[in-house]
Structure 1
Amino acid sequence: MTTLTTAFITSLPLLFNASTVLANDAAAANVTRNNIQQGELSSQSSIGDVLRHPAFSGFARRILPWDDRAYDEKLRLQDIASLLPYHSHVDPASVVGGLNRMITDISAGRQVFYDIYSNAEKTADPQKKNTGLFFFRGKAGAPFAIVAPGGGFAYVGSVHEGFPYAAEINRQGYNVFVLKYRVGQGGAVATQDLARALSFIFENHSSVAVTTEGYSLWGSSAGARMAASIGSHGAAAFGGDPVPKPSAVVMAYTGHSDVGSDEPPTFVVVGSDDGIAPASSMQRRVNALRNLGASVEYREFPSIGHGFGPGIGTSADGWITDAVRFWEALR
Structure 2
Amino acid sequence: MGIDETPVRMLFENQDVHGARKLILPLEDAFYAARPDVTLREATDACLGEGYPSFAGLVGLIMDHPGCFHPYRKSIEYGYLSFPIGNPKANAVVVPGGGYEMIASANEGLDFVRPLQEAGYSVYIAGYGIKDDACFPKPVIQVAECLREAGRLPTLLLGFSAGGHLSATICRKDMTEAFDYPRPQALILGYPVISFSLPTHEPSKRWFTGGRGDLFDFLSAEGHVDPDYPPTYLWRAESDDVVPPINSDAFDRALSQRGVRHLYRVYPGDGHGWGMGEGTSAEGWLDEALSFLRQK
- Length-normalised TM-score, structure 2: 0.76
Shift of 1:296: 1.1
Q: 1:173 to 1:134 in 2, by over 3 A?
A: same
User: 1:298 — aligned with what?
Assistant: 264
Give the secondary-structure state (helix, strand or coil) at the position aligned to 1:310.
Answer: coil
Name which of 106, 114, 123 aligns with 1:176: 123
Query: What aligned pairs does 1:1-331 form with structure 2 within 5 A after superposition?
Result: 1=1, 41=3, 44-46=4-6, 48=8, 51-52=11-12, 54=14, 56-68=16-28, 70=31, 73-76=38-41, 80=44, 83-84=47-48, 92=54, 95-106=55-66, 111-117=67-73, 121=74, 128-184=75-131, 185-202=134-151, 205=152, 212=153, 214-233=154-173, 235-241=175-181, 243=182, 245-256=183-194, 257-262=222-227, 263-330=229-296
Counterparts of 2:288 and 2:105, CA distance in 1: 21
Counterparts of 1:81 and 1:233, CA distance in 2: 40
1:40-93 CA-partner distances (Å, limit 9, x unpaired): x4xx5457278436363541413313044726733528x9587458xxx9754x
Counterparts of 1:132 and 1:275, CA distance in 2: 30
Give the secondary-structure state (helix, strand or coil) at the position aligned to 1:303.
Answer: strand
| Runs (4+) off by over 6 Å | none
Q: Mind listing any 5+ residue stretches in structure 2 that lack a counterpart?
A: 195-221
Counterparts of 2:185 and 2:246, CA distance in 1: 26
Native 8 Å contact 1:247 1:327 kept in 2: no
Shift of 1:217: 0.8
Native 8 Å contact 1:253 1:282 kept in 2: yes
- The aligned amino acid for 2:120 is G
> Which structure: greater strand fraction?
2
Native 8 Å contact 1:84 1:151 kept in 2: no
Counterparts of 2:71 and 2:283, CA distance in 1: 32
- The aligned amino acid for 2:60 is N
Q: Mind listing any 5+ residue stretches in structure 1 that lack a counterpart?
A: 3-40, 122-127, 206-211
Q: 1:308 to 1:129 in 2, by over 3 A?
A: same
User: 1:29 — aligned with what?
Assistant: none
Native 8 Å contact 1:51 1:60 kept in 2: no
Shift of 1:306: 1.9
Give the secondary-structure state (helix, strand or coil) at the position aligned to 2:272.
Answer: coil
- The aligned amino acid for 1:104 is D
Give the secondary-structure state (helix, strand or coil) at the position aligned to 1:313.
Answer: coil
Give RMSD over aligned pairs: 2.9
Native 8 Å contact 1:169 1:320 kept in 2: no
1:282-303 CA-partner distances (Å, limit 9, x unpaired): 1221122012111111121222
- Length-normalised TM-score, structure 1: 0.68
